[in-house]
Amino acid sequence: MAGSFQSVEQSLHKHLPPEEGKEVLRILYGKAASLQGTLDLPSAAVELAATKNFELAGYSLKELAHAEETRAARVVRVGAIQNQIVLPTDKPIIDQRNALWKRISDIIDVAAMCECNIICLQECWTMPFTFCTREKKPWCEFAESAESGPTTQMLQELAKKYNMVILSPILERDANDVMWNTTVVISNTGDYLGKSRKNHIPRVGDFNEETFPNEFTSGDGKAAHKDFGHFYGSSYVACPDGSRTPGLSRIKDGLLVTEIDLNLCRQIKDKWCFKMTQRLDLYTEELAAAIKPGYVPPIIKD
């Protein structure tokens, strides 16, 4: 059953009465439930996605931002891509990577037809999600340079060809042989813009080799079990206030095209006053003191 369960949204539409379903979606999606509209995507893109066997969905969230008198709307289309591996994990590393390149290139072709300005690829998209195994060989061979590695070079050509920004999360190996979980940012002109990275390669909750062959608990008060749950799909785009689009399939590759107004970011900051109570200078002073040897907390007793 789990393998054929397409999505939560599909099940809700199928089983809930319209009015009740509308209220459930409001709770799940926030304001986006009433404002979002389905994008009218090109028929050629829809047909090509069907031919290439991946889901294509499009939504508009730009209406969540209000019109401003002193600033024009900044509407962009974001394409979020989710994908499975293409070849089995016992195939040569280069073949596995090249097969994923081809798969993602096909999906980006469709994203360009849908006029996407920004493409977001999934974490470590050039390889299987091997981190749960804690094995080094051969998975470390997927690591490459963020600035000039073969994956970055391949995507630079697509970014330039289609005039789109691409965010490419890869396993990076830097010049000092340090490995990083890195997102590479490639500009719409094909230039390397920069990267965001961390080197705590993820072991996600119960999803690691120490645990999943044996019964385990998840710290939720339930009995020990061997099922660590579904681990794929349901990608969505979220707004700064938590409103979101429906998710993609739980069992299929997909491209989610979402039209957004970037002005909403500042509008939510102004409305929710995120920085109103920040005391950054005080935090700096207190933390600098706390990390010094011999630090004694200022405990006041009556």
118 vs 163: CA distance, rounded Å: 9
Residue 230 lies in a domain: yes
pLDDT (tens digit, 9 = 90+) per residue, 157-179? 999 999 999 999 999 999 999 89
Number of domains in the chain: 1
Residue 24 lies in a domain: no
| Domain that includes residue 159, residue range | 35-290
Residue 259 lies in a domain: yes
CATH code, domain with 85: 3.60.110.10
Question: Mean per-residue pLDDT for 281-291?
Answer: 95
108 vs 103: CA distance, rounded Å: 9
pLDDT (tens digit, 9 = 90+) per residue, 105-146? 999 999 999 999 999 999 999 999 887 777 788 999 999 999
Residue 27 lies in a domain: no
Residue 298 lies in a domain: no
pLDDT (tens digit, 9 = 90+) per residue, 192-247? 999 999 876 655 555 555 555 567 666 777 787 666 666 789 999 999 999 999 99
Give the pLDDT score at 1: 41
Q: 249: which 2 tokens?
A: 């399939």
Give the pLDDT score at 10: 85
81 vs 100: CA distance, rounded Å: 12
Residue 20 lies in a domain: no
Question: Mean per-residue pLDDT for 73-90?
Answer: 98
pTM: 0.86
Residue 300 lies in a domain: no
Q: Mean pLDDT for the chain?
A: 90
141 vs 41: CA distance, rounded Å: 39
Q: For the chain, how long is the longest CA-to-CA vector?
A: 76
Residue 14 lies in a domain: no
